Amino acid sequence: MVENSDTWTEVDAYLERALDLADETLTRTAADAARAGLPDISITATQGKLLQLLTESVGAQSVLEIGTLGGYSTIWLGRGIPEDGKLITLEIDPNHAAVARRNLARAGLGSKCEVRVGPALELLPALEHQPPAPYDLVFIDADKPSIPAYFRWALRLTRPGSLIVVDNVIRRGAVVDGTSTDPAVQGVRQFLELLAAEPRVSATVLQTVGRKGHDGLAVALVVTGQ
Ligand code: SAH
Ligand code: DHB
Ligand code: MG
């Protein structure tokens, strides 16, 4: 079999069916977001289930997401926390936030998931020293040049045992180019340098292929406190 992006998409579709990953709620969420004109850049179902499993694995009661879009990843994360858990997701675009709120309500997650609207870097300071901080899991998936700043905030807002997950850290392989002038690539590379030098976390990066092309996820476990 020839390995190319058609194969990756086909395998993603096969896995979604074979593992029965995407139910009616998630399918409608994706369709709603597309109808509202949102870009097709959410995580995939296989990645979403991984987020749910990571959330469940750390027994997360509190989750912070940076970058909501239409709420697709938010639903997966929200499903990983218990009924009395709390998820806060930050989104700069009021239209995206409105679509997400609708999708979360339909998913039955409206009460435990709160969408806050604004530039994440302006919203993050208010989360410190306020319940439900410290967060048990932080998912960083907004503008890529700000990933280093979001990672620093994630460290402030978590505790030993928390997980920090960062999407889109491979950029179709462009991450290897140290001379790249793409601000997204520079953001990712600066983040990876921070990650490597950060004694408070133990981390790895997995490159992924699938319906969304060649990209990757960083996963960091907070191992010691401030
Ligand atoms: N996590 C979503 C995809 C997020 S796409 C999913 O997988 O389903 C990235 C989102 O980040 C977009 O909705 C974009 O509007 C938002 N965003 C971009 N810059 C931002 C900022 N500075 N603060 C908060 N959100 C931002
Ligand atoms: C983009 C953002 C994402 O979160 C993603 O998963 C893919 C692409 C983007 O801004 O292009
Ligand atoms: Mg992403």
DSSP secondary structure of 4-31: SHHHHHHHHHHHHHHTT---HHHHHHHH
pLDDT of residue 1: 60
Residue 125 identity (one-letter amino acid) = P
How distant is the alpha carbon of residue 59 from its chain centre? 17
- For residue 41, the CA-to-ligand 2 centroid distance in Å is 5
> Are 107 and 74 contacting, i.e. CB atoms less than 8 angstroms apart?
no
pLDDT of residue 142: 98
- For residue 86, the CA-to-ligand 1 centroid distance in Å is 19
Residue 3 identity (one-letter amino acid) = E
pTM for this structure? 0.97
- How many secondary structure helices (H) and strands (E) does the chain include? 8, 7
The preferred substitution site among 66, 144, 182 for testing ligand 2, maximizing ligand atoms within 8 Å of CB, is: 144
Which residues sit with their C-beta closer than 6 Å to ligand 1?
41-43, 67-69, 72-73, 90-93, 96, 119-120, 141-143
Report how far residue 97's alpha carbon sits from residue 36's, in angstroms, rounded to the nearest whole number: 11
pLDDT of residue 3: 66
Instruction: Please state whether beta strands 158-167 and 215-222 pair in parallel, antiparallel, or not at all (unpaired).
Output: antiparallel
- For residue 109, the CA-to-ligand 2 centroid distance in Å is 24
pLDDT of residue 2: 62
pLDDT of residue 226: 66
**Residue 75: which residues within 8 A CB-CB, separation 6 or more?**
25, 26, 29, 48, 103, 104, 107, 109
- Ligand of minimum distance to the alpha carbon of 146: 1
**Residue 182: which residues within 8 A CB-CB, separation 6 or more?**
171, 174
Cβ count within 10 A of residue 101: 21
- Mean pLDDT for each 10-residue chunk of the chain (226 residues)? 81 96 94 96 97 98 98 98 97 98 97 98 96 98 98 98 98 94 97 97 97 95 88
